[in-house]
Amino acid sequence: MTIKVRLFARARDLAGADCVEVCVDAPATVGDVRKALLDHCPKLAPLGPHLFAAVNSSYADDLDVIPVGSEVAFFPPVSGG
Amino acid sequence: MTIKVRLFARARDLAGADCVEVCVDAPATVGDVRKALLDHCPKLAPLGPHLFAAVNSSYADDLDVIPVGSEVAFFPPVSGG
Amino acid sequence: MVRLTHDEIDYHAVTEAVRSHAAGAVVLFLGTVRELTAGRQTVSLNYDGYGVMATRTMQQLEVEACRRWPVVAVAIVHRLGHLALGDISIAVAVSCPHRKQAFEAGQFLIDELKRTVPIWKQEHWADGSTEWVHPGTGEVVAPATVEASR
Amino acid sequence: MVRLTHDEIDYHAVTEAVRSHAAGAVVLFLGTVRELTAGRQTVSLNYDGYGVMATRTMQQLEVEACRRWPVVAVAIVHRLGHLALGDISIAVAVSCPHRKQAFEAGQFLIDELKRTVPIWKQEHWADGSTEWVHPGTGEVVAPATVEASR
């Protein structure tokens, strides 16, 4: 299945896009999408292990399965405030 | 010598005055003035041991000697803020 | 900057007084007149102060805070006189480079102010009685109005 | 009440939103754009946020603060976009019956917000470079402008 991945901050800058599409076998975990994302955007490699994942606006682990129709995002450590 | 003693809050209410004059032998300590004050205003007795003293706008102990011309004040525990 | 006032406290001005390009954190504390204390209902408060000593003591607290933390600026305004429910009795603002410092300095200033600055609060309870608040004197209820009428 | 905005933060409104007769203490925290960080000079900042998740995460923090302390009200506004020196990036206001609770709840909210809410700061340094701040990534200097020109 195709999953749209939203990117933020330096991850977006490195990828050159705020959203990329990756293909993974269903059912896919967050880890599957992370691997597909890094294959698709090799420039994200320096941030790879530091990227947090969110599924439907909640932090998610690499083992979490992504429900169909979810919004998926990857982003580097936060620095708001 | 005669010393003017400023009173505040419930001490002022009990004494019925915001300032009283007491007579003490010079050189007088804060303790001397406290004793003279309580003799002069028996109604202050319930607050007596709880009254703080200040000489020239600084907290003072009963053993402190009061310089001539000082401003002396007695008041109950504070509750500002 | 420390100040006593009988007017409403403009906490926006108090806060602006400490803002700076050198500070990344501003903490403002407001004390406001609360309606309920241990189940009793307040209708208003009266604050009395020993003006010259209160100002001097607040200035000493400002100096001490600046000695303990990398404070950029401090502003403290305490109101005296009659206050209605919800009114602001005190505003303490402090700015520091970082937030932990600002929280610590702000809490120090209000804690020490309540412990040492010669200002007194008189409760006006809903039952019509009044009572000076003098912690530790053991006079849990000390209705000055009753006293005065004896 | 939590909110993201691209406009200047009206911290007076944020503070008024938490004032109450039930509260004796209000703590307001402001994060402001500081000029110097470890000796480097900032000329401006840019904040990016994952809006829907940031709002949701801030709402969860409000709920958690209300669970841990007797909070009367919480108001949080975070600014996004371009900020000049001295501008307010965040305002957190909390009211409680007593001051210790308000300080603790306020510090919890800003500490957790900085740890978990998906918002990112980009430094615009005086030397013309820009740098996303991503703690722990080991990219001490990550000039996106240089990257983009390769």
Mean of pLDDT values over B2-8: 97
Look at residue D139 in the predicted model and tell me its pLDDT.
53
CA distances from C23 to B21, C20, D42 (A): 50, 5, 13
Does the pLDDT at position C140 exceed 90?
Answer: no
β-strand D36-37 against D25-32: which pairing, if any?
Answer: unpaired
Place of tokens 């003006």: C51
Containing H/E element for C72?
Answer: none
Distance of alpha carbon D53 from the chain centroid = 15
Mean of pLDDT values over D30-50: 97
Alpha-carbon gap, residue C90 to B26, rounded angstroms: 41
b/e code A53-78 from CB counts within 10 Å (16+ = b): bbbebeebeeeeebeeebbbbbbbbb
Contacts of C120 in chain B (CB under 8 A): 8-10, 75-76, 78-80
Q: How far is C49 from chain B (nearest CA, A)?
A: 8
Tell me what the pLDDT averaged over chain A comes to. 97
CA nearest to C106, candidates C8, C14, C9, C35 = C14
Does the pLDDT at position D143 exceed 70?
Answer: no
Distance of alpha carbon B31 from the chain centroid = 9
Chains D and A touch (3+ CB pairs under 8 A): yes
Q: Give the model's confidence band at C138: pLDDT under 50 very low, under 70 low, under 90 confident, else very high.
A: confident
Residue C60 burial (10 A CB sphere; 0-12, 13-18, 19+):
middle
β-strand D40-49 against D119-125: which pairing, if any?
Answer: antiparallel
Nearest residue on chain B to C55, alpha-carbon basis: B57
CB contact under 8 A, C107 and D103: yes
Does the pLDDT at position D140 exceed 70?
Answer: no
Per-residue model confidence as pLDDT tens digits over C20-72: 999 999 999 999 999 999 999 999 999 999 999 999 999 999 999 999 999 99
CB contact under 8 A, B78 and C118: yes
Residue D7 neighbours by CB under 8 Å, 6+ apart: D79
Ordered by where they begin, the domains of chain A are 2-75 (3.10.20.30)
Does the pLDDT at position D137 exceed 60?
Answer: yes
Per-residue model confidence as pLDDT tens digits over D97-134: 999 999 999 999 999 999 999 999 999 999 999 999 99
Place of tokens 């505003």: C91
Percent of chain A predicted with pLDDT > 90: 98
Does the pLDDT at position C100 exceed 80?
Answer: yes
Look at residue C139 in the predicted model and tell me its pLDDT.
53
Containing H/E element for B39?
Answer: helix B30-40
CB contact under 8 A, B80 and C118: yes
End-to-end Cα distance, chain C: 44
Residue B80 neighbours by CB under 8 Å, 6+ apart: C47, C49, C54, C78, C89, C90, C113, C114, C117, C118, C119, C120, C121
Place of tokens 């998926």: A72
Nearest residue on chain D to C92, alpha-carbon basis: D27
Cis check: omega of the bond before A42, within 30 degrees of 0? no
Look at residue D138 in the predicted model and tell me its pLDDT.
73
Look at residue B32 in the predicted model and tell me its pLDDT.
98
Residues 13-72 on B with a CB inside 8 Å of C are 13-14, 46-47, 50, 52, 54, 57-59
Look at residue B48 in the predicted model and tell me its pLDDT.
87
Nearest residue on chain D to A58, alpha-carbon basis: D53
CB contact under 8 A, A79 and D121: yes
Chain C contact present for B7, CB below 8 A: no
Look at residue D121 in the predicted model and tell me its pLDDT.
98
Mean of pLDDT values over D11-35: 98
Per-residue model confidence as pLDDT tens digits over C107-126: 999 999 999 999 999 999 99
Mean of pLDDT values over D76-95: 98
Among C37, C42, C48, the residue to mutate for chain B (most B Cβ within 10 A): C48
Mean of pLDDT values over A42-64: 96
Q: Give the model's confidence band at D142: pLDDT under 50 very low, under 70 low, under 90 confident, else very high.
A: very low
Chains B and A touch (3+ CB pairs under 8 A): no
- Inter-chain Cβ pairs, chain A and chain D, closer than 8 A: 95
Q: Are C79 and C5 in contact (CB under 8 A)?
A: yes
Q: Give the model's confidence band at A48: pLDDT under 50 very low, under 70 low, under 90 confident, else very high.
A: confident
Angle value at C-alpha A71, between A66 and A74, nearest 5 degrees: 85
Residue B62 neighbours by CB under 8 Å, 6+ apart: B29, B30, B31, B34, B53
CB contact under 8 A, D25 and C11: no
CB contact under 8 A, D132 and A73: no
Per-residue model confidence as pLDDT tens digits over B6-57: 999 999 999 999 999 999 999 999 999 999 999 999 999 999 889 999 999 9
